[in-house]
A = this chain, B = another copy of it.
């Protein structure tokens, strides 16, 4: 029972379309005309619904983390560290080379070019990536406590290694690497001693 003229577009759908534009073009590369055209709305509607460009981008990041990148949360539920990593790699490869997505990772490509004003956006993306890495690290710490990872292993180092692989794959995907190629990268990365079942 809201009063006033009803919104003529779907919020979720518009957000998803904005997400795709940011994913493809990055924060600064996505212009207002790019966004409004893809979202099918005009500028004042965008500002009324989402605040401004930066606020829209933050909502997009939230959506990305909760949706497209949810493979991370799911992967952490696997019973062993080895399986966690296997699922992380598989999920990453699928996301990064998804035929219906722009190639690459929104969090990696979102903000590379940046002037000092958009620096807060860059920091937000760095924090977002760090959050993912932290979740993996904590999962490895648990694995270590459970004896699933050897006592002399470093959960922090392993988590950073996994994050590095995935971010590297994001760069590779953005450069045109195929799903098959990235799967082979993942296979090699899984040979790292501390992650193998022995």
Binding site for B on A (CB under 8 A): 25-31, 34, 108-115, 126, 129-130, 154, 157-158, 160-161, 163-172, 174-177, 181, 184-185, 188-189, 191-194
Contacts and interface: CB of A to CB of B under 8 A. Distances in A.
A38 to B, nearest CB: 13
A165 B165 contact: yes
Contact of A172 (B160, B185, B188, B194): B160
A127 to B, nearest CB: 9
Contacts of A168: 163-169, 171
Contacts of A172: 160, 163-164, 167
A146 to B, nearest CB: 21
Contact of A158 (B160, B163, B175, B188): B188
B126 A175 contact: yes
28 contacts: A25-B113, A25-B115, A26-B112, A26-B114, A29-B113, A29-B114, A31-B115, A108-B112, A111-B112, A112-B174, A113-B113, A129-B175, A160-B172, A160-B177, A160-B184, A161-B185, A163-B172, A164-B169, A164-B172, A165-B168, A166-B168, A167-B167, A170-B171, A188-B194, A189-B189, A191-B191, A191-B194, A192-B192
Contacts of A181: 157, 160
A157 B108 CA distance: 23
A20 B12 CA distance: 41
Most B CB atoms within 10 A — which of A109, A157, A164, A177?
Answer: A164
B175 A130 contact: yes
A171 B176 contact: no
Contacts of A175: 126, 129-130
